[in-house]
Structure 1
Amino acid sequence: MNQKLKDYLEVSPREFRGIVVFVLIMLFVFVSPYVYERIMFQPLKISIETLTPKIDSVEAFNEKTDRFYPKEENKKSTAQLFDFNPNHLPTSEWMKLGLSKKQALMIKKYEDKGGQFRNINDVKKMWAIKPELFEQLLPHIKIPEQTSATNFNDTKTPNKTISTAKSIATVEINSADSASLLAIRGIGPAFASRIIKYRNRLGGFLSINQLKEVWGIDSLKFEQIKTQVLINTNAIQKIDINKCTFEELKTFPYLSYKQSNTILAYRKQHGDFKNATDLNKIAILTPEIIQKITPYFKF
């Protein structure tokens, strides 16, 4: 037993030297932080005398750079203030008033979509114009009042008036083309195009409230145009549910891809739809959807 233990613990001269080197390395690693901290490391001593030259050099640098980079509060505004009408004001004129080119283009884009400045508040709502800049521009904003002027040169009809503002049009929206829609105050070419595209997908408008479904017409735009629109429900183009194809149904905005497929599959399996009540037999169609789509189908 002793011989086996002795054979197990016995090391060769080469192995013994390796152990000694390993122990010395571990001892060096353990001791070196203490040696460095006590002997080699010298903390930096800070005094007023050492700081003064540094402070003087920093102040000299700031004084030098201020000549080239003045502080923001010392900058003077380069805006050229003058009386102006914000409607259809050229981009270059907006830039003279202190707006960047990007901000001026945002305002022009607003006008291209049918936007119009009718009063001071309309200008204030433009987020492209910062509040501090608006306060500077406020005394110079001159928007002509939309009133009527009497035509005194007409002796036969002395009370005849000539409107100086764009007259409010009333347009039947289910039969109007792009040119007719532009007569609506607040509707530009972009909105006219979107209304017609959505009307074609829908087949026509049943209610004025459906205009809110047109992309870009929010509650403010809707309130602006709703009194200028008429709806003729007789002009609606209905879908023949017993003859329509998937191509016709897939563009209809009130049905999803799956619902359109299910309607055609049911028709193929059970035959023609006799009336709107048959739609209740299709589980994927809720009562709300059926009520919404029924006026657009012909049975």
Structure 2
Amino acid sequence: MMRKSYYQKLAFMGILLTILFVFQKYTSKEKETFPDVKFIMNSSNSVNITAFDPNSLNNEQWQNIGFSEKQAATILKYKDIVGGDFTSKEQLKKCYAISEEKFNEIKAFILLPETGRKSSSVFKSFEKKELIISKKFNPDQYSSVDWIKMGFSEKQAEAILKYKNYLGGSFISKEKFRECFIISPENYSKIQPYLLLPAKTPESFRNFTKNNSEKNKIQYHPFDPNSLNLEGWKALGFSEKQATTIVNYRDRNLRGSFKSTEDLQKCFVISTEKFQELKPYIQLTTKKQDAQEQKTDFSKVDLNVITFKQLLEFGLDEKSAGSMIGFRKKLRGFVNKQQILETYNIDKDLVQKLISIAPLDVSNVPKYTLTGAPEEWLKDHPYFKYSADKIIFYRITYPDDKKILKFLKLKPEYEERMKLYLK
């Protein structure tokens, strides 16, 4: 027993010494240094943005300044919606494809005024730039590049050169130069001391321009701006781009018609001078006047041929009129007036009034037997399409309408609907 106790004590001492040795080793060990961890970030390609006019950028150019192809397409679509051109930074910012962060990034480079302002010309008032004029010069000898270097935008430079060409290739005098609408009074006062031009326009040139303008003067005739198409506006002296803008402004912004001459005057591509020329010839007809002048006798209009325009004339809104026409087209014609009241999204009170006045001719509504109905008609007709495959299957074996209807096991109201279009 003593020997056994001795060996147990010896083993315990060995284990204890081992534990003390291991503990001393790890506590006395010098602290190891770990290498510094460095995270490698993918450096984003910085977009080099310079001053730009958002109205002149195409899809690819929007992508070049950091937008995706889809975002670029959205921006261009938004530009069309607002009338064909952005008029201010404020308006551009509202485009949902441009985030707040991205707008703040490009804001300083946008060549547009901060907020929308009425413009009397085709060209917008861009942010003011300080003009750089170092010496006297003859503006007749300046190219587009020279005007841009002075501080004008590319479009403004083009407009100045077009005006010079309009005058016959020379600005003639300071007086005529001042009449260039793209040069503001403030900018003219800065440029005027440096102009190498006569102060007054020679009388000979006045007589020439008077005679020339009389020859080229547009012969205006009375016109209705609500019925004028693109070619009609071009015939009045507007460019294709201006004419497109006017038509878009009328059809999109004003929902199809100018309500007053003031609406026409507000269109930014129509200058004050041009509007004054057109004003005596404007014969504005609104939709309300059209309705009075072309009043329809609805007691004689068949509900199966009544048009979308006539439904609007009766008083239905576009949603109701569209739903009624669409449902009639699907049915290939109404068979009874109750069907019309079952149309979704309609003003039932107004439609009830209409069907109490207007007649319904069902003689041209196509009807078939279940055994002889075209497959396309069965699969498309609202009353048959959900049973079309079964009908086609059953009629192979049972060429009898009554048996087919029995096999279909339809609810009574659904079967009654089908029978409206069965022979």
TM-score (norm 2): 0.32
The one of the two structures with greater contact order (alpha-carbon pairs below 8 A, sep at least 6) is 1
